[in-house]
A and B are shown apart, each in its own frame.
Chain A
């Protein structure tokens, strides 16, 4: 019960910290002070207090986009184990629901973007659905590897297995899916090199372009859900990474939060040292992720 409460609290409170850490890291690399670490909290709070402005072309889909995205992300977040504790929701086959909840969120985010009738938002939505066609199979390859290692069909035992039953035989497949999952994380949370959240040109964006017309409370919800998605997918990556770190049992305790923050720092470093790829080169990167995960699977069942 206590674990569940802690899980829910972490899931609700921590997410906006991660984009804050990323921004701070990027500022540090650029030699600036940067915004305060807690800036995303202030942003979200401010958005939630603002008034409503919506486009005259929109329908209820425009509102459903942010709402369903947050609900789906929250539910998915209750299915991944944070650290050593079990996830609050765990049942046979929950990983399928996990993956398809993000699909549901994508369905309504992109529909809401197209609801405004803006060409820029259409562009962002088209890119989002196209890239998902490659990142989703990569995610399922990673799931297959984890299922094979753990012999289970539920996220909690699957994500506990790498640390609990670590052996030299599974190290190579784990490293391969770790790389694949990290690329999927970057793509799904719209970070460089797939998407640049801070660019000034709407033509080159994915996620930010889709939400151009959302403002006020709706935009606050979008920011919050995006941060939460980063936490959820980041947890997935970390659970695969943890067995390779020294002192893995300690790290799976409360220190897991530190790991999450560190992961956000790593994303910040990646963003600082790389440029965004050309839009037509992004599929190559995602196919790369697919291949990494696929080779991990083949290595395991050979």
Chain B
């Protein structure tokens, strides 16, 4: 998979055949991986299977292994990139992008391969190598259009953020080596909790940068918005989850921690999910909106992990199972519906040539299939029944309500406050995605660009259909996907925890029966209505605009005005910028209004900090004269200092 893109360079830069070969190779690699993954998930292949060889890189063993946790995270790695590759054949044709199609193919394949290696690596150094390869491959895939200024800017911010995270991970693995004596990623239950806490914090910050948890999300909106859409789908649907994988894996290796570990994750998750979706409502750019919604979903996953972590510390196995299963299921679900929505957004951009939803509208009439697929994705991402998002959030709610039933006060009922944050997130998500659905697909077209839009070709449509099928399938038959998740959740369990059976107490059959009942009721009502409609006929007229006979497309409620209520409520967090001309006199002149919700943390915190550093750090340049012997002198001086320090330490 990783080197599949290399094959593209054997063909000329405009060759569709070369691109096709790359996609086929990637799919073959994915199919092999997927079959192995499914075999191990269904238990046909005995777990754990591992491979451990010495190789030439010093201090590092080529150790890979596959256990239930890896298998859960491998599944999206093998599904989404392969679907995206086929989509990319139509979306990013070599004929129309001769300058960068081969580079995109190479980086895309490398990204997929590196992610697979991240998940199966069992040695710290190998993990870091794969991690860095993934980060760089994503950078090259996301910045293929590097002739545009905003793409370069987004790429730089991403590169800085990902390396800030990697820096923490370097410290984490160094600390790991110090605490356990080796780089091998094997459980260390004997480690004292006091030594484990800093490691946990390092892992949380380091992996949090990749996952896009709220204060460390600054790279995410720009990178997702400016990448080609199938790359955005893979970055959002799969790559962010590598950060989640890192947190889950690190916790499974560390000893059972204290309650505040979980509390910290719950707080970070609550901020991410409410903040992420509130920012999403303020966006006009469809891909920035989806990127902020990814932050929200990562926040929801973090809520589940926080619940599980709290349960792990306080010996409540049911919280561990519900929280971790909910979080892991949401990892899959988010891959399904966010992949679907990003591919859909890509098809929109392909059809209209713009990412600004204020100039779209009325596309439902021109692209009915795309609208249908978008509606499925939107209902699923709002966690509404009967689709898949509801099931994972249901598991989380079940965990939070378990937490409130505990006798005895303390911090434990506080855990259930996360249910309120989750409820608020749900309501905000409805606001956000109703807005997007309506502004893009409903109403009348607001500009000429979307009058000629149409449904995309089959290569772009079918990946979306498959993902939508996944959303519906998981929503209606949730019990079917639970077994592997349960096995993965066992990684966090205390010794002797009996997991099997705990999830069987969860009434999935009742839940799916209720969902079927809902579908049946809707179908019956629709059938009855349709009969009266056919019997009486339908008169079609203009929209009744309260007596105004000639409404125009410009008079529709715009996305900014729709989101204004929520943005106003959350203005203490969002700091929206509004430019408007004041109205004066009885007959005011033509006026204008412009609303924008920039990223508060990036614009007001991170960039000013970097600018301040830029002013201060040049003073250090006196140390750098470009003369080799001065540098050798620095090395000598530092070695002497280290020797003195080490000598003092050993006595």
Which chain A residues have a beta carbon within 8 Å of chain B's beta carbons? 48, 51-57, 59, 61, 63, 67-68, 70-72, 74-75, 89, 91-94, 96-97, 99-101, 103-104, 106-107, 110-111, 114-123, 125-127, 129-130, 132-137, 139-141, 143-144, 147-148, 151, 153, 202, 212-213, 217-218, 221, 283, 294, 301-302
Contacts and interface: CB of A to CB of B under 8 A. Distances in A.
Contacts of B565: 126-127, 129-130
Nearest to B416: A144
B532 interface: yes
B109 interface: no
Given A51-B537, A55-B541, 4 more contacts: A92-B506, A107-B434, A118-B544, A133-B431
B62 interface: no
A55 B539 CA distance: 9
Contact of A140 (B365, B419, B555): B419
Nearest to B402: A153
Interface string B29-58: 000000000000000000000000000000
B585 interface: no
A249 B118 CA distance: 62
A189 to B, nearest CB: 17
Given A52-B533, A93-B511, A133-B428, A119 B398 contact: no
Given A125-B434, A153-B398, A67 B525 contact: yes
Contacts of A59: 364-365, 368, 371, 441-442
Contacts of B405: 147-148, 151, 153
Nearest to A203: B546
B540 interface: yes
Interface of B: 361-362, 364-365, 368, 371, 375, 378-379, 382-385, 390, 393-394, 397-398, 401-402, 404-405, 409, 413, 416, 419-424, 426-428, 430-431, 433-435, 437-439, 441-444, 505-507, 510-511, 514, 517-518, 521-522, 525-526, 529, 532-533, 536-546, 551, 553, 555-557, 561-566, 569
Given A75-B517, A132-B427, A126 B384 contact: no
A28 to B, nearest CB: 31
B537 to A, nearest CB: 7
A51 B536 contact: yes
B424 A100 contact: no
Contact of B543 (A94, A117, A302): A117
Given A54-B538, A56-B540, A111-B438, A106 B430 contact: yes
Nearest to B553: A117
B385 A97 contact: yes
B546 A115 contact: no
A118 B554 CA distance: 10
B434 A139 contact: no
A93 B404 contact: no
Contact of A104 (B375, B385, B541, B563): B385
B312 to A, nearest CB: 21
B567 to A, nearest CB: 9
Given A53-B541, A139-B423, A148-B405, A93 B529 contact: no
A218 B439 CA distance: 23
Contacts of B505: 92
A67 B529 contact: yes
Contacts of B444: 57, 117
A136 B426 contact: yes
A71 B385 CA distance: 12
A136 B424 CA distance: 6
9 A-B pairs closest in CB distance: A122-B557, A114-B438, A130-B565, A117-B443, A129-B431, A71-B521, A91-B510, A140-B423, A136-B427
A101 B379 CA distance: 12
Given A93-B397, A97-B514, A107 B430 contact: yes
Main SS class of interface, B: helix
Residue of B382, B423, B435, B569 with most partner-chain A CB within 10 A = B423
Residue of A68, A99, A302 with most partner-chain B CB within 10 A = A68
Given A122-B557, A122-B562, A103 B438 contact: no
B364 A91 contact: no
Nearest to A136: B427
Nearest to A302: B409
Contacts of A51: 536-539
Nearest to B413: A301
Contacts of B404: 144, 147-148, 301
Contacts of A119: 545, 551, 555-557
Contacts of B422: 140
15 contacts: A53-B541, A55-B544, A59-B364, A61-B375, A92-B507, A93-B398, A94-B514, A97-B390, A103-B430, A107-B434, A110-B438, A111-B442, A114-B438, A212-B546, A213-B544
Nearest to B546: A202
B401 A144 contact: yes
Nearest to A96: B397
Contact of B542 (A56, A97, A103, A133): A56
Contact of B514 (A75, A111, A137): A75
A140 B397 CA distance: 10
Contacts of B368: 59
Given A126-B557, A133-B566, A144-B419, A103 B427 contact: yes
B348 to A, nearest CB: 16
Nearest to B375: A61
A218 B365 CA distance: 21
B438 A99 contact: no
Nearest to A121: B557
Contacts of B420: 137, 140-141, 144, 294
B427 to A, nearest CB: 4
Contact of B382 (A92, A103, A294): A103
Given A71-B521, A103-B427, A301-B409, A114 B434 contact: yes
A140 B75 CA distance: 34
Contact of B379 (A75, A107, A141, A294): A107
Nearest to A67: B525
A92 B514 CA distance: 12
Contacts of A94: 510, 514
B546 A114 contact: no
Contact of A103 (B375, B384, B416, B437): B384
Contacts of B544: 55, 118, 212-213
A104 B566 contact: no
A201 B487 CA distance: 59
B397 A52 contact: no
B543 A130 contact: no
A226 B398 CA distance: 29
A270 B526 CA distance: 37
Contact of B443 (A100, A114, A302): A114
Given A57-B444, A126-B557, A148-B404, A93 B394 contact: yes
Nearest to A116: B543
A133 B536 contact: no
B362 A57 contact: yes
A91 B557 CA distance: 41
B556 A137 contact: no
Given A67-B526, A71-B522, A75-B518, A129 B390 contact: no
Given A103-B430, A118-B551, A126-B557, A54 B517 contact: no
A66 B390 CA distance: 22
Contacts of A217: 529, 532-533
A278 to B, nearest CB: 14
A130 B566 contact: yes
Contacts of A143: 401, 419
Contact of B364 (A61, A121, A294): A61
A202 B398 CA distance: 41
A144 B521 CA distance: 30
Residue of B371, B378, B416, B439 with most partner-chain A CB within 10 A = B416
A153 B505 CA distance: 13
Nearest to B507: A91
Contacts of A151: 405
Contacts of B421: 137
Contacts of B564: 126
